[in-house]
Structure 1
Amino acid sequence: MPEAGDGAAILAAVALLGYMLGSIPFGVVITKLMGLGDLRQIGSGNIGATNVLRTGNKAAAAATLILDGAKGAVAVLLVEWFLGSEAAAQIAGVAAFIGHLYPVWLRFRGGKGVATFLGTLLALAWPLGIAACLAWLVTALVTRISSLSALVAAALSVPLAQILGYRELMPAAAIMAVLIFWRHRANIQRLAQGREPKIGKKT
């Protein structure tokens, strides 16, 4: 019983670590530091890189993309380094992803999690992460619609995990994919109506 209790405490600590890392709102911090205003009052109000790009500052958008992706990756790699547990690493990565979606610092009003999702997959299994990134990139090049690219990458992540031999990652990928679809529900409605803006558009 004590061992089981210790294990539960460790997993809870891992989840908390991941969540707190994921909760860091890099998009908000970067735009404020660069004098671009409050990101939550710009464009869609989202705190991710796509909305940062609507400020017209590509460097700020790139920095946000990298740092948001790094949140999931760092959570996974730290846990793998210190605990050597793939299961715990998955928990940390998913917790970081949830932290980005619902950050405590912003009253649980966060982003849509795409960069953190991709960063988490890259750290858990780089072939799977690269495949998901390619799915996003190809869709973005063809359609120029960020939200559709995110939905395609999320939807394909589960079958890609199976195809590439990472079946143990399918539950984590599925959880993140479902949450990405949930967070994109307004985008899905606009896509159906043909009103979803292209990448880089200010509105």
Structure 2
Amino acid sequence: MKIILLFIVAYLLGSIPSGLWIGKFFFHIDLRKHGSGNMGTTNTFRVLGKKAGFVVFILDVAKGTIATLLPTFFHITTINPLWFGVCAIIGHTFPIFAHFKGGKAVATSAGMLLGYAPHFFLVAFLLFITIIYLTSMVSVASILCMIMVSIGSFIFPKYVPWILPHFNSLFSTIAIVLTIFIIYRHRDNIKRIMNGTENKVSFGLGYKKEKKKS
């Protein structure tokens, strides 16, 4: 019964629509009606500004991290903590508090990674920032980082164990499924990338090049 309750708690944590609530309570703006219509970090940055975007990013990551750590908090060792992180990701993507229409699962997936393998999270986050600096596109950084996590889940335990000490088939499976899912959720972004019309953040080399052209 405790495990079932914690699964529900993990889902409800993930369901908290950080961007939507912050937009409504502090800015009187419904993110679903502005920008890309998404409630995630990128659209929050674009519509509400850097401070709000940063707060939403932290909150969305925290949802995945806290959910993944729930079994540790309650001394449960009979089930892999990744399942609780998955529940939070499902909640974030299909939130009960926002009519089951949520974000693209990137930040909450990162939170699950932070709760499960902090060193791996650090490597992925540094890669994420580097790709954003080079391209100025969050979508590209999100997709490439998820691909790296999937590949790294197989390679790092053998060759760079300080990043990921042990191979976990469940972790690798979840990483691959999430990579496919996140690529699917970014299908419109991929079309814009191929057409050269993808939105860029006001940071990095890609943004500077675009600004010079204009």
Q: Normalising by the residue count of structure 2, what TM-score does the alignment of the two structures yield?
A: 0.83
Which AA in structure 1 matches 2:96? V
* Residue matched to 2:196: 194
| TM-superposed deviation, 1:85 | 3.0
Unpaired segments of 5 or more residues in structure 2?
158-165, 204-214
* TM-aligned CA distance change 1:110 to 1:86, over 3 Å: farther
* Residue matched to 1:4: none
Please point out which of 25, 32, 50 is paired with 1:33.
25
- Fraction of identical pairs, as percent: 34
| TM-superposed deviation, 1:97 | 1.0
Question: What SS does the corresponding residue of 2:200 show, helix, strand or coil?
Answer: coil
| TM-superposed deviation, 1:200 | 4.6
* Residue matched to 2:179: 177
Please point out which of 71, 79, 82 is paired with 2:71.
79
Distance of 1:31 and 1:77 partners within structure 2: 28
User: Is structure 2 residue 129 aligned with structure 1 residue 129?
Assistant: no
Which AA in structure 2 matches 1:147? S
**8 Å Cα contact 1:97-1:176 kept in structure 2:** no
* 78-87 or 60-69: bigger deviation: 78-87
| TM-superposed deviation, 1:16 | 2.2
**8 Å Cα contact 1:14-1:88 kept in structure 2:** no
| TM-superposed deviation, 1:56 | 4.6
Distance of 1:149 and 1:140 partners within structure 2: 6
User: Is structure 2 residue 100 aligned with structure 1 residue 98?
Assistant: no
* TM-aligned CA distance change 1:193 to 1:87, over 3 Å: farther
* Residue matched to 2:212: none
Q: Normalising by the residue count of structure 1, what TM-score does the alignment of the two structures yield?
A: 0.88
Question: What SS does the corresponding residue of 2:111 show, helix, strand or coil?
Answer: helix
Which AA in structure 2 matches 1:133? F
User: Is structure 2 residue 167 aligned with structure 1 residue 167?
Assistant: yes
Give the paired residue count.
193
| TM-superposed deviation, 1:12 | 4.0
Unpaired segments of 5 or more residues in structure 1?
1-8
Which AA in structure 2 matches 1:18? A
Could you list the structure 1 runs, at least 4 aligned residues long, displaced by more than 2 angstroms after superposition.
9-17, 83-88
* TM-aligned CA distance change 1:184 to 1:86, over 3 Å: farther
Distance of 1:107 and 1:27 partners within structure 2: 14
